[in-house]
């Protein structure tokens, strides 16, 4: 029988501590998955707090700060919270009184724990939101309090962009700056070509389309957009989106044109990455396309941009423009394929710290 007093590999014994030493926990490895965020409620003040935090991020909005302060606080935050609150109300998880992104991200963390936790008692899994609650800082502090001396940060964005992946790192670094005893930090890189991810998206398309009694004439892969200016400054996001789309199309064995890339969710008057999803949906319907499906591979969990914007708003655009059949293919979420993707990323990035 194994000696129960043996210290696990990589952990440390407390036997050397002097008598009367304050209790201290150590030897654990934290895995913190982070998604973009969600308001605490659909009311005006909850929406205002969330939008202010989000739209105050200098990586999200790269304009003159004095001008933007006026636009944000005097114009946007006086009107936009009401409109966005109504949008969120259409997708709100009323049973838990929270946005679906929070529900799904929690489930992803719990299922990762169930899959990998039994393989090492050193692992501690948690989740956070870049904007809103639970904050990255609060969860890093909680993980350290549980004895996590090492931390794997996993931004939940398959394709890197400064306004998503990088800003998660910014928030983590800001939190570490306040800590006397910092955990060692690793950041999982993006995964636009991860085999489990490509196969998961391809499986999702196959499975979802198999439930229909009709076949789409083509499928759009809609990714969240960024301003064209950010791309011109060197943001690689555009290229990663095209890489993922090409690999998924090849995995499906489809010809070019059957799976087309578009960009959604533009904001303001500046030009964003094109082609735009809504304009493409409208143009396809007007050109005679009657059956269309849309998937959103850049999102690992369904949220306002997928459930309300694509499944709701763009479906309406398609039908009003002459289309007949519209189908939204859900994100991988916490499905077995979705957890396989996150598991593959976590397993790879924990190597050298713990072997799973």
Summarised one tens digit per residue, pLDDT across range 289-341 is: 999 999 999 999 999 999 999 999 999 999 999 999 999 999 999 999 999 99
320 is in an annotated binding site: no
Residue 261 domain-assigned (yes or no): yes
Asked if residue 13 has a cis previous peptide bond (ω within 30° of 0), the answer is no
The secondary element (H helix, E strand) that includes residue 220 is strand 218-224
DSSP for 164-213 reads: IIIHHHHHHHHHHHT-SSPPEEEEPPP-TT-HHHHHHHHHHHHHHHHT-S
> Is the confidence at residue 97, as pLDDT, over 70?
yes
pLDDT at position 238, please? 98
Phi, psi of 333 (to 5 degrees): 50, -135
CB contact at 8 A, 289 and 257: no
| Domain annotation covers residue 289 | yes
Instruction: Give domain status of residue 61, yes or no.
Output: no
pLDDT tens per residue across span 55-95: 999 999 999 999 999 999 999 999 999 999 999 999 999 99
Alpha carbon 148 to its chain centroid, in Å, reads 24
Residue 344 belongs to a domain: no
Average pLDDT over residues 7-22: 58
CATH number at residue 264: 3.40.50.1400
Q: Is the CB of residue 314 less than 8 Å from the CB of residue 327?
A: no
Supply the pLDDT for residue 4. Answer: 38
**pLDDT score of 3:** 38
Q: How confident is the model at residue 12 (pLDDT cuts 50, 70, 90)?
A: low
Confidence tier at 25 by pLDDT (50, 70, 90): confident
pLDDT of residue 311: 98
3-state secondary structure of 161: coil
Whether 259 is in a domain gets the answer: yes
In a domain, 280, yes or no: yes
Between 7 and 58, the more confident residue is 58
Q: What is the pLDDT of residue 19?
A: 73
pLDDT band at 5 (very low <50, low <70, confident <90, very high): very low
What mean pLDDT do residues 231-258 have? 97
Q: Is the pLDDT of residue 36 over 50?
A: yes
Rounded distance between C-alpha atoms, residue 176 and residue 140, angstroms? 8
Question: Which stretches does DSSP call E strand in 13-118?
Answer: 28-38
Tally of domains in the chain: 1
- 47 occurs within a structural domain: no
Domain membership of residue 282 as a residue range: 195-329
Interatomic CA distance for residues 236 and 124, integer angstroms: 32
State the Cα–Cα distance between residues 331 and 221, nearest whole angstrom: 11
Q: Of 294, 331, 303, 302, whose CA–CA distance to 220 is shortest?
A: 294
Whether 223 and 261 have beta carbons less than 8 Å apart is answered as: yes
Report the pLDDT value the prediction gives residue 203, as an integer from 0 to 100.
Answer: 98
d(CA 1, CA 21): 32
Q: Are 242 and 259 in contact (CB under 8 A)?
A: no
Token output for 254 = 């489809």
CA pair distance 137, 153, nearest whole angstrom: 12
* 104 pLDDT above the threshold of 80: yes
Return the ∠ at Cα 172 (arms to 160 and 107), rounded to 5°.
75
Nearest CA to 126 out of 26, 303, 180, 141 is that of 141
User: Is residue 59 domain-resident?
Assistant: no
Is residue 221 predicted with pLDDT exceeding 50? yes
Mean pLDDT score of the chain: 94
């Amino acid at each position: 029988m194994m000696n129960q007093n043996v210290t696990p590999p990589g952990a440390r014994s407390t036997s050397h501590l002097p008598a009367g030493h304050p209790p201290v926990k150590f030897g654990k490895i934290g895995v913190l998955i982070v998604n973009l965020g969600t308001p605490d409620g659909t009311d005006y003040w909850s929406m205002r707090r969330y939008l202010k935090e989000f739209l105050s991020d200098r990586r999200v909005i790269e304009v003159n700060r004095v001008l933007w302060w006026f636009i944000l606080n005097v114009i946007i935050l006086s009107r936009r919270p009401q409109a966005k609150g109504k949008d969120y109300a259409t997708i709100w998880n009323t049973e838990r009184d929270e946005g679906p992104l929070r529900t799904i991200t929690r489930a992803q963390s719990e299922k990762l724990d169930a899959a990998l936790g039994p393989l090492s008692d050193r692992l501690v899994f948690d989740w956070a939101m870049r904007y809103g609650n639970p904050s990255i800082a609060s969860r890093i502090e909680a993980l350290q309090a549980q004895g996590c001396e090492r931390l794997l940060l996993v931004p939940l964005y398959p394709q890197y962009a400064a306004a998503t992946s990088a800003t998660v790192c910014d928030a983590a670094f800001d939190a570490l700056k306040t800590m006397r005893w910092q955990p060692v930090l690793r950041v999982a890189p993006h995964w636009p070509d991860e085999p489990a991810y490509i196969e998961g998206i391809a499986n999702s398309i196959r499975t979802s389309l198999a439930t229909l009694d009709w076949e789409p004439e083509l499928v759009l892969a809609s990714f969240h957009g960024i301003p064209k200016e950010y791309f011109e400054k060197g943001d690689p996001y555009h290229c990663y989106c095209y890489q993922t789309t090409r690999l998924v199309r090849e995995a499906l064995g489809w010809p070019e044109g059957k799976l087309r890339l578009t960009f959604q969710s533009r904001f303001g008057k500046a030009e964003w990455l094109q082609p735009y999803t809504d304009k493409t949906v409208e143009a396809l319907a007007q050109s005679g396309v009657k059956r269309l499906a849309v998937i959103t591979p850049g999102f690992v969990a369904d949220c306002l941009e997928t459930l309300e914007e694509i499944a709701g708003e763009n479906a309406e655009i398609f039908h009003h423009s002459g289309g007949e059949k519209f189908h939204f293919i859900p994100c991988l979420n916490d499905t077995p394929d979705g957890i396989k993707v996150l598991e593959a990323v976590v397993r790879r990035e924990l190597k050298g710290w713990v072997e799973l």
